[in-house]
């Protein structure tokens, strides 16, 4: 079990709005901190990175110059794929308590339990008061129909970030708010960072083997290490107004994921926040309504909100106003030496579709297991090159889709077309040296399919342990390579390889009438395409690394040799007999104990 970590300067997270670090004397603090991984940036992606690293048993230090987590909701949609990652990290129930489970519009729970469920419907209306005439613009049925162990959730950044910070510290990460990166030098053996503690002004040195730059859209680390970022730049200037209002002027039973409202006084979107009676209204910035400095007054914001409500006498209170830009910018590469970019530092695009933070969570999850494998000596350093190979095509394609949803003409994007939203959420495909046998093609295939092809997310199936516990196939993968097969010979080959090399490889026999895991639906071989004698090798991130579809498995020696070769290639290392592997024992889920 990981030692308990530290959570520095993280008091009263949900209420404080002080995000300005103090400036002090700059005195030196010794000795230097030495960690395998330094994470710079305590937004959603940085905190998720620290959490995922800690769950893999990797010591890491996170520094964030602000003194608290975000006091405003900002990103709100947590996709099904992101929830699968947080389920693995032990956060599913905490997010459930903090947010709304997203369900179909006709789900009675959205009406009967409004504090826990939200319908995944996007409406179009002239105002909230006119919801009875609203048009259904989007149902979200595609996302809700994808088989998986988790529902999507609506949970604002102001609630997600404290959960992530507390969980990261609880699992062993050293999380320091109010600590700012002031200098960074990199070399072939790692990086040396200078950090200033805002409360005291003292500075200290951090020596890290790797640095994860989660410093967001305004971060400078990419520039410092020579990574260029290009794109279409600023696409729009926008204003978000957070307000409190009781639904006295509209039907409170007509709930929605988002409502697109258009009338002479308001043209934008309104969405419900997680705190009862709190809402967000977002519009394009109109210079004619702005003050000389470009900002909106409270009076202007109130007029916008009342127009959105459709009642000029409604009791509405303006809580927060923030101005922001919808921008497009993609890093030319996601790493330079020991530095890796994640989240907005790597890819920036409009929030349309709600993909921004979710793509960042995927970045963090992909990178975390690879850093754990390399620092734990069970993978070769070449594995880290696959982070860019896999995640940059996905980030670039997602940004393009978000721009299309935001209204950028297809001809400005090379004739790009909108793809199936299920593909963006969890149907993306990796092609890298850590995936064997992935078919050629883009990161977003033309048709959505999860059939255990190499490079895709493992299909979800409910299985049962001998004790009767129900587990998802996705619950079986954390912290190791997992070989699933309907034939016990493959499980024996995987166990033999683990014994011979010390590598974290495990084989599981999946069968309708027995085995390590029971398959009540008797569909494993069909869903995963292995046939009766094949097998599928799954990486710690739930992505398929390799698959064989043999009718009969090879003999024991051939199976052992083949699997050793495959594992060595996936982990970018030779696999000698009796290798010394310094991997950490990870938490076990379901049949994993």
Here the CATH number for the domain that contains residue 307 is: 3.30.9.10
| Domain co-membership, 20 together with 111 | no
| Domain co-membership, 537 together with 472 | yes
Q: Is residue 26 within 8 Å of residue 196, measured between CB atoms?
A: yes
Q: Is 429 within the bounds of a domain? A: no
Contacts of 108 (CB under 8 A, 6+ apart): none
Q: Which of 327, 360, 390 is the last residue of a domain?
A: 327
| Domain co-membership, 252 together with 319 | yes
Rounded Cα distance, 316 and 307, in Å? 11
Element (H, E) at 484: strand 481-485
Neighbours of 415 (CB within 10 A): 8
Q: Is 448 within the bounds of a domain? A: no
Please give the pLDDT value at position 575: 66
| Domain co-membership, 19 together with 109 | no
Residues 244-277 as b/e (b if ≥16 CB within 10 A, e otherwise) read bbebebbeeebbbbbbbbeeeebebbbbbbbeee
Q: Is residue 125 within 8 Å of residue 136, measured between CB atoms?
A: no
| Domain co-membership, 466 together with 507 | yes
Please give the pLDDT value at position 147: 87
Q: Which of 344, 375, 406 is the last residue of a domain?
A: 375
Q: Is 116 within the bounds of a domain? A: yes
CA 193 to chain centre: 26
Contacts of 222 (CB under 8 A, 6+ apart): 213, 228, 229, 331, 341, 345, 346
| Domain co-membership, 75 together with 138 | no
| Domain co-membership, 56 together with 26 | yes
- Per-residue pLDDT for the chain (593 aa), expressed as one digit of tens each? 333 455 543 332 233 333 333 333 345 555 789 999 999 999 999 999 999 999 999 999 999 999 999 998 888 999 999 999 999 999 999 999 999 999 999 999 998 999 999 999 999 999 999 998 999 999 988 888 888 999 999 999 999 999 999 999 999 999 999 999 999 999 999 999 999 998 899 999 999 999 999 999 999 999 999 999 999 999 999 999 999 998 777 888 889 999 999 999 999 999 999 988 899 999 999 999 999 999 999 999 999 999 999 999 999 999 999 999 999 999 999 999 999 999 999 999 999 888 889 999 999 999 999 999 999 999 999 999 999 999 999 999 999 999 999 999 999 998 899 999 999 999 999 999 999 999 999 999 999 999 999 999 999 999 999 999 999 999 999 999 999 999 999 999 999 999 999 999 999 999 998 789 999 999 999 999 999 999 999 999 999 999 999 888 899 999 999 999 999 999 999 866 554 454 443 333 333 33
| Domain co-membership, 160 together with 215 | yes
| Domain co-membership, 259 together with 129 | yes
The pair of three-digit structure tokens given for residue 88, joined into one six-digit string: 């693995």
**CATH code for the domain of 540:** 3.40.30.120
Rounded Cα distance, 340 and 437, in Å? 26
| Domain co-membership, 313 together with 245 | yes
Please give the pLDDT value at position 29: 52
**CATH code for the domain of 185:** 3.50.50.60
| Domain co-membership, 317 together with 205 | no
Q: Is 114 within the bounds of a domain? A: yes
Q: Is 425 within the bounds of a domain? A: no
Rounded Cα distance, 407 and 434, in Å? 36
Q: Is 439 within the bounds of a domain? A: no
| Domain co-membership, 219 together with 295 | no
Q: Is 437 within the bounds of a domain? A: no
> Containing domain of residue 479, as a range?
462-592
- Residue ranges of alpha helices (H) inside 376-487 are 385-405, 421-422
Count the domains in the chain.
3
Instruction: Name the 3-class secondary structure at 312.
Output: coil
Rounded Cα distance, 42 and 583, in Å? 27
Please give the pLDDT value at position 246: 85
Q: Is 175 within the bounds of a domain? A: yes
């Amino acid at each position: 079990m990981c030692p308990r970590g530290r959570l520095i300067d993280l008091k009263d997270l949900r209420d404080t709005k002080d995000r300005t670090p103090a400036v002090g004397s700059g005195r030196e603090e010794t000795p230097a901190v030495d960690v395998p991984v330094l994470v710079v940036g305590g937004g959603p992606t940085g905190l998720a990175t620290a959490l995922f690293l800690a769950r893999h048993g990797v010591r890491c230090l996170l520094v964030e110059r602000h003194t608290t987590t975000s006091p405003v909701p900002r990103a709100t949609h947590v996709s099904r794929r992101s929830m699968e990652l947080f389920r693995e990290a032990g956060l599913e129930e905490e997010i459930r308590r903090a947010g709304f489970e997203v369900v179909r519009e006709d789900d009675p729970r959205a009406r009967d339990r409004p504090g826990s469920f939200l319908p995944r419907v996007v409406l179009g209306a002239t105002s909230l008061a006119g919801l009875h005439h609203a048009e259904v613009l989007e149902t979200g049925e595609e996302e809700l129909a994808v088989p998986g162990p988790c529902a999507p959730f609506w949970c604002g950044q102001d609630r997600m970030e404290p959960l992530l910070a507390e969980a990261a510290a609880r699992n062993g990460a050293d999380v320091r708010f109010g600590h700012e990166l002031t200098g960074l030098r990199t070399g072939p053996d790692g990086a040396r960072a200078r950090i200033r503690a805002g409360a005291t002004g003292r500075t200290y040195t951090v020596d890290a083997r790797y640095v994860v730059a989660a410093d967001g859209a305004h971060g400078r680390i990419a520039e410092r290490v020579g990574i260029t970022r290009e794109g279409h730049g600023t696409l729009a200037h926008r204003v978000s107004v957070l307000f409190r209002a009781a639904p006295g002027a509209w039907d409170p039973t007509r709930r929605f994921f988002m409502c697109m409202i258009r009338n002479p006084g308001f043209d934008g979107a309104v969405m419900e926040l997680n705190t009862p009676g709190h809402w967000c209204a977002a519009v394009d910035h109109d210079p004619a309504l702005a003050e000389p400095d470009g900002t909106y007054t409270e009076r202007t914001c109130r007029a916008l909100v009342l127009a959105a409500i459709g009642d000029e006498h409604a009791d509405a209170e303006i809580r927060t106003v923030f101005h922001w830009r919808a921008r497009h910018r993609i890093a030319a590469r996601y790493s330079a030496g020991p530095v890796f970019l994640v989240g907005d530092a790597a890819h920036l695009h409009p929030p349309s579709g709600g993909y921004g933070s979710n793509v960042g969570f995927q970045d963090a999850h992909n990178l975390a297991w690879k850093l754990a494998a390399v620092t734990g000596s069970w993978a070769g350093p070449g594995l880290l090159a696959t982070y860019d190979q896999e995640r940059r095509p996905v980030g670039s394609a997602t940004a393009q889709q978000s721009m299309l949803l935001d209204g950028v003409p297809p001809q400005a994007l090379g004739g790009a077309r909108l793809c199936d939203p299920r593909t963006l959420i969890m149907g993306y495909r990796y092609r890298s040296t850590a995936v064997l046998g992935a078919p050629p093609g883009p990161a977003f295939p033309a048709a959505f399919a999860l059939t255990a092809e190499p490079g895709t997310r493992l299909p979800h199936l409910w299985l049962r342990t001998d004790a009767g516990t129900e587990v998802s196939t996705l619950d079986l993968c954390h912290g190791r390579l997992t070989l699933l097969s309907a034939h016990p010979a493959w499980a024996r080959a995987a166990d033999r390889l683990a014994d011979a090399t010390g590598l974290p490889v495990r084989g599981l026999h999946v069968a309708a009438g027995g085995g390590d895991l029971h398959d009540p639906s008797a569909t494993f071989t069909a869903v995963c395409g292995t046939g009766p004698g094949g097998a599928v090798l799954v990486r710690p991130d739930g992505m398929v690394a390799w698959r064989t579809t043999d009718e009969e498995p090879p003999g024991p020696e051939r199976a052992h040799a083949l699997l050793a070769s495959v594992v060595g290639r996936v982990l970018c290392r030779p696999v000698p007999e009796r290798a010394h592997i310094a991997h950490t024992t990870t938490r076990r889920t379901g049949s994993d104990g």
